[in-house]
């Protein structure tokens, strides 16, 4: 790999394939916002859409580079080569010293583009698997990770839980995602949201937020809430989320049928996707995460920033976010009875819930501010760009 000259600011080329704003894209936008522009000049290559628009609003040059789906694509070799060549050509044009791949698909393109452009690339791994769900062929996932680790100069993982599933631990730096805590006001007036959704002003509200996908665990949440309502009948159950990435299946309808079967038809409120979840979080007394193991779980931090106690399963990255007994309660994975019992305990002791919520906000302020995230990632760039020992073998 060629020796990189010292320039300031150094051009960086970020890569992201997603057509919609998910957690990875929101985290990237925060990084772009808080990057030290005296040291680094970011550029973004993406397919357009909301990510491109919001990056442009941050004065980041945006370059439209399609990165088509590669898995099971009959055009895989041609699309991969064409995309990698376009990225390499763009990197040379802007004088990029580094590629930062923000998603797995982007990393597949970056691995080849980095070789073509003779510059290093950083792989930002934000998931347990190379696919959204647990792969049917685990050996293929393991080999894919080994290949990407071998091609990347460094790997950034968004949690220790994610890092533990990578075969190149010596290359991995864990950097937790950040949020702008100041945007989340625990004193926000929840009255308008409650009125809009027909929630009585004194009714306890327990909610969950996330895309309506089975692995997010909304079905477990509803089953746990059926137990909660038996003990605290006036409780309302709030389900916030939609099919952000255009996945069209029967899961939302299944959830509504399940709510009816559980006797929650008059208690469960489905809001659909909300661009701004803060009013919904403000209306909650307890936030619940009932999903499969999360690689991070940003909305849990957002709930903490809003001063809400969090009840969740003790798996994935949740123990890195929630301090059991201090900012919320962690229960054994998939134990819906324990989940319900933890929620009931908080609802029956409101001062305890408020104390947990206040502790959660302090933790969010201390550990998850975006400037802290940006500094840690920029330290990775410094090692990669200016240390020849960090280049891949």
**Is 3.30.540.10 the CATH classification of the domain at 181-367?**
no
Q: Where in the chain is the domain with CATH 3.40.50.2000?
A: 10-178+369-390, 181-367
3-class secondary structure, 27: helix
CA 314, CA 103: separation in Å to the nearest integer?
26
pTM: 0.91
CA 230, CA 250: separation in Å to the nearest integer?
28
Q: Locate 110 and state its tokens.
A: 């970056």
CA 304, CA 327: separation in Å to the nearest integer?
8
Name the CATH superfamily housing domain 10-178+369-390. Glycogen Phosphorylase B; (3.40.50.2000)
Q: Locate 146 and state its tokens.
A: 């080994």
Evaluate whether 40 touches 32 at the Cβ level (below 8 Å): no
Locus of tokens 């939609």: 242
Residue 393 burial by CB count (10 A; 0-12/13-18/19+): exposed, middle or buried?
Answer: exposed
DSSP state of 145: H
SS (H, E, C) 196-240: HCCCCCCCCEEEEECCCCHHHCHHHHHHHHHHHHHHCCCCEEEEE
Q: What is the mean pLDDT of the chain?
A: 94
Residue 224, CB half-sphere, CA atoms under 13 Å: how many?
32
pLDDT of residue 71: 79
- 65-123 pLDDT, tens per residue? 999 998 777 888 999 999 999 999 999 999 999 999 999 999 999 999 999 999 999 99
- 305-343 pLDDT, tens per residue? 999 999 999 999 999 999 999 999 999 999 999 999 999
| % of residues, the chain, pLDDT over 70 | 95
> Among 3-7, 296-300, 334-338, 359-363, which stretch is predicted with the lowest mean pLDDT?
3-7
Cβ neighbors of 337 (< 8 A, separation 6 or more) are 224, 227
pLDDT of residue 253: 94
Evaluate whether 60 touches 41 at the Cβ level (below 8 Å): no
């Amino acid at each position: 790999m060629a020796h990189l000259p010292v320039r300031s600011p150094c051009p960086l080329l970020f890569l992201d394939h997603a057509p919609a704003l998910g957690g990875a894209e929101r985290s990237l936008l925060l990084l772009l916002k808080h990057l030290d522009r005296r040291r680094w000049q970011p550029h973004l290559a993406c397919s357009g859409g909301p990510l491109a628009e919001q990056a442009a609003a941050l004065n980041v040059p945006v370059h439209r580079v399609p990165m088509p789906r590669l898995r099971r694509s009959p055009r895989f070799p041609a699309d991969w080569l064409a995309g990698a060549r376009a990225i390499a050509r763009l990197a040379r044009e802007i004088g990029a010293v580094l590629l930062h791949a923000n998603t797995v698909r982007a990393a597949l393109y970056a691995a080849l583009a980095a070789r073509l452009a003779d510059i290093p690339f950083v792989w930002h791994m934000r998931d347990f698997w190379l696919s959204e769900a647990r792969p049917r062929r685990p050996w293929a996932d393991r080999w894919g990770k080994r290949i990407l680790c071998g091609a990347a100069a460094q790997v950034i993982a968004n949690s220790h839980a994610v890092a533990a599933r990578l075969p190149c631990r010596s290359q991995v730096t864990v950097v937790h995602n950040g949020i702008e805590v100041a945007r989340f006001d625990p004193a926000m007036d929840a009255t308008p949201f409650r009125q809009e959704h027909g929630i009585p002003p004194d009714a306890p509200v327990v909610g969950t937020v996330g895309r309506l996908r089975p692995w997010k665990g909304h079905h477990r949440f509803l089953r746990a809430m059926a137990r909660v309502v038996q003990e605290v009948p006036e409780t309302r159950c709030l389900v916030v989320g939609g099919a952000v990435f255009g996945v069209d299946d029967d899961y939302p309808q299944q959830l509504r049928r399940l709510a009816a079967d559980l006797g929650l038809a008059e208690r469960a409120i489905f809001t659909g996707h909300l661009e701004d979840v803060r009013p919904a979080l403000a209306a909650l007394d307890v936030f619940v995460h009932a999903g499969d193991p999360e690689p991070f779980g940003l909305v849990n931090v957002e709930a903490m920033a809003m001063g809400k106690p969090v009840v969740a399963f003790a798996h994935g990255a949740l123990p890195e976010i929630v301090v059991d007994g201090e900012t919320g309660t962690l229960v054994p994975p998939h134990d819906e009875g324990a989940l319900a019992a933890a929620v009931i305990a908080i609802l029956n002791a409101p001062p305890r819930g408020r104390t947990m919520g206040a502790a959660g906000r302090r933790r969010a302020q201390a550990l998850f501010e975006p400037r802290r995230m940006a500094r840690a990632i920029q330290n990775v760039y410094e090692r990669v760009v200016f240390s020849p020992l960090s280049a891949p073998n």
